[in-house]
Structure 1
Amino acid sequence: MMSTGGLITAATPPVTTPHDPAREAAERELSKPIYHQNDPGLLDRALRKFFEWLDDVLGSASGATPGGTFGLLAIVLLAALAIAALWWRLGSPRRTATSTHTLFDDGIRSAADHRTAAEAHAAAGRWTEAVQERMRAVVRSLEERTLLDPRPGRTADEAAAEASVSLPEHSTDLRSAARTFDDITYGGRTADADTYARMRALDTTLTRTKPLLTGPTA
């Protein structure tokens, strides 16, 4: 209390703002778009973080690599060249095989020769090779029976479609066998004992099936 000329007046208290409301008011003010017009975008921030991380990684690696940065770049270049060489060496034959999709990839052998090879592969547990040889035996047998004309470059699908004309009751099985051959030869799938058993059964069945005679009638 203060006395001025006999009058008693109360002291005016200072104006204060509570801490939390003041902080919230400041945050609201700073959140206005006008204060962020020149801020970097999300992509810019992400790229900046990435390059900072890459710089740290390269810096750490160059410090631990003989020759520093130049030594690290030489190692990276050699690794890239090695990967490219492996890709060309291992990938090129696969691209060539996939582009042709031919059924026979070697000299002419009889159906009996293909069956013998198939059984040898099966005995050794090489089911993929066994299925391939058995499918070749199926087609070669049809050629030997003159149900198919011998033709170089024929695919498994073509052989199945052509054979279905004289063996219509086995059309579905022939097309399924052709798909199986393509899947394991060009699609990267593997065969098993059951797959080979089905292919072997088809081969045996076809050798006992009388074909449907087609051609001009008198």
Structure 2
Amino acid sequence: MTISRDPAREAARRELSKRMYHENEPGLFQRALNAFWDWLDRLLSSAASATPGGTLGLVVVILFVVAVLAALWWRLGTPRRQPASATVLFDDRPRSAAEHRAAGEAHAAQGHWNQAVQERMRAIVRSLEERAVLDVRPGRTADEAATEAGRALPAHTDRLSSAAREFDDVTYGGRSASEQSYRRIAELDRDLERTRPALAHSAGSSTAHNTRQGAAE
């Protein structure tokens, strides 16, 4: 008995579609992985053929590029946030030192330490402006305020710098303040209120010294 061509082809297709013939074939992920490696092999082969020196020349080029990238990373470092000193301390809503203190205490009472630290640092700077220790200057940053205030209040230079760093870390560095952070800045605020600027004292001492020197002459 002779079987025609089409029924024979269909019978063969049904037979080959049985699971027993496909048990050892790679899965979808393996086939995709094999296709990727085949593509990468073709790409490297093409690059090697186009590079002087063949495969060795390609390896040298790759190592050179890696070395350049490593040198740039070592020289420039990883990308960093924009320095906090580029952002101003106060917003567009002018408030007194007392108002900033009250806001800081309200935030502290609720355990909102980030906002409490921010408001207490603003209270410090605003208080120094109200006392004419600092000139009123829009656009001043926390770092700038700490540096300028440290010249007038040298005994508190380190604490002012630390307070400015706390403000910057909380406001722009993505860090969280703690109760201790707020207590330190609040204590600094109270101490600064009781401190007289060194400029007035040094000016008086200089005047007295010059007077005594003139009298002696």
The AA in structure 2 aligned to 1:47 is F
The AA in structure 1 aligned to 2:36 is L
Q: TM-score, normalised by structure 1?
A: 0.55
Equivalent residue pairs, number: 132
Give the secondary-structure state (helix, strand or coil) at the position aligned to 1:195: helix
Match of 1:157 in 2: 143
CA positional deviation for 1:46:
8.8
Q: Which runs of 5+ in 1 are unaligned?
A: 1-43, 52-94
Match of 1:48 in 2: 37
Q: Which runs of 5+ in 2 are unaligned?
A: 1-32, 41-80, 208-217
Greater Rg, structure 1 or structure 2? 1
Match of 1:194 in 2: 180
Say if 2:185 is the partner of 1:210.
no
Match of 2:51 in 1: none
Give distance in 2, aligned partners of 1:46 and 1:167: 71
The alpha-carbon distance between structure 1 residues 161 and 46, as it changes in their structure 2 partners (threshold 3 A), is: farther
More helix by share: 2
CA contact (8 A) 1:121 1:127 kept: yes
Match of 2:121 in 1: 135
Match of 1:108 in 2: 94
Match of 2:168 in 1: 182
Matched residues, percent identical? Answer: 58
Give distance in 1, aligned partners of 2:116 and 2:82: 22
The alpha-carbon distance between structure 1 residues 210 and 185, as it changes in their structure 2 partners (threshold 3 A), is: same
The alpha-carbon distance between structure 1 residues 185 and 213, as it changes in their structure 2 partners (threshold 3 A), is: same
**Backbone CA RMSD of aligned residues:** 2.8
The alpha-carbon distance between structure 1 residues 136 and 45, as it changes in their structure 2 partners (threshold 3 A), is: same
2:108 to 122, 127, 130: 122
CA positional deviation for 1:48:
2.3
The alpha-carbon distance between structure 1 residues 134 and 50, as it changes in their structure 2 partners (threshold 3 A), is: farther
Q: TM-score, normalised by structure 2?
A: 0.55
